[in-house]
Amino acid sequence: MLVYVLVEHQSRPDAYMPLRMYRCVGRVLDAQARQQRRKRLPVVVPVVLHHGAGGWTAPRRLSDLFDWDQETRALLAPYVPDFELLIDDLVRVPELELLAREGAPIGRLTVWVLRAVRVGFDPALIGCWAQELDRAAEGDRGAILHILQCLGSADEGEAVIDALRQAPLSERMQEVVMGYHKKWLGLEEGMQQGNAAGPRRDPPEAAAAPFPPGAKAIERRVLAASLEDLDRWTERVLFADSLDDVLR
């Protein structure tokens, strides 16, 4: 048995969300009909992950969009497509319930961050979320970086990062959070001071300072790197165990 869970992320309600998901479900079923030799199609479950501050207020059923009265609806409903969206309305879910959800720590941590940047968080539970961060870091470290980037891109994310900095994190994760916090502050300061001047590079003396004597090839590679390369290497510094891991 094949079941699709079709997830759409929304930061605000959309009055035509059932119609959008209906189109997406249709595309999934069309693709399966072309690719599969069996006659039966998979079940497709449409899910909306929503973290708008006011909660989900838009229609949940496709039939709620139709222009019909109750009599016509009762007559024609059996013959027209219809389904209800499964809405995971994060701002209406208590933090304790998020902590109790089954699944990987990175999943619980992700939905908490999405919720926290909209409606805040309970300071009394920050230690629990710090433990989730430590557990998640044992798996996909890249996912942790994405979470920190999500916090860094939201105005409300600074309070969350500050709280995590003060939480009882493992030494390794404390270094990661502190490192990202410093990078974030540096980027903000640079954008405030140097936007008009455009991108610039550090002088060769500063760029070469971290490298051991004789590492001319690495120095040349860094000085010749594009801004995209420098951004990518800066992100890797948070988790890399060696210089080779950063520049790979």
Check: CB of residue 18 under 8 Å from CB of residue 83: yes
Residue 168 lies in a domain: yes
* pLDDT recorded at residue 75: 97
Tell me the per-residue pLDDT of 19-46, one tens digit each, with 9 for 90 and over. 999 999 999 999 888 887 667 899 999 9
**Closest alpha carbon to 155 in 125, 118, 182, 122:** 118
Residue that wins the pLDDT comparison between 106 and 235: 106
Distance between CA atoms of 92 and 187, rounded to whole angstroms? 33
For residue 15, give its domain range: 1-92
First to last CA, the chain: 41
Q: Based on the fold, state whether residues 1 and 20 are members of the same structural domain.
A: yes
Residue 213 CB contacts under 8 Å (≥ 6 apart), including other chains: none
Q: Based on the fold, state whether residues 2 and 87 are members of the same structural domain.
A: yes
**Closest alpha carbon to 230 in 222, 238, 218, 219:** 222
Q: Based on the fold, state whether residues 164 and 119 are members of the same structural domain.
A: yes
* pLDDT recorded at residue 183: 66
Tell me the per-residue pLDDT of 151-194, one tens digit each, with 9 for 90 and over. 877 778 888 888 888 888 888 888 888 777 676 655 555 545 55
Check: CB of residue 47 under 8 Å from CB of residue 88: yes
Q: Which range among 82-86, 188-192, 232-236 shows the weakest confidence by mean pLDDT?
A: 188-192
Out of 24-38, 58-72, 232-246, the most confident range is 58-72
Residue 146 lies in a domain: yes
Whether the full predicted model's pTM is greater than 0.75, yes or no, is: no
Q: Based on the fold, state whether residues 82 and 138 are members of the same structural domain.
A: no
Q: What mean pLDDT do residues 205-213 have?
A: 48
Of the three residues 49, 69, 92, the one that is the final residue of a domain is 92
* pLDDT recorded at residue 90: 94
* pLDDT recorded at residue 72: 96
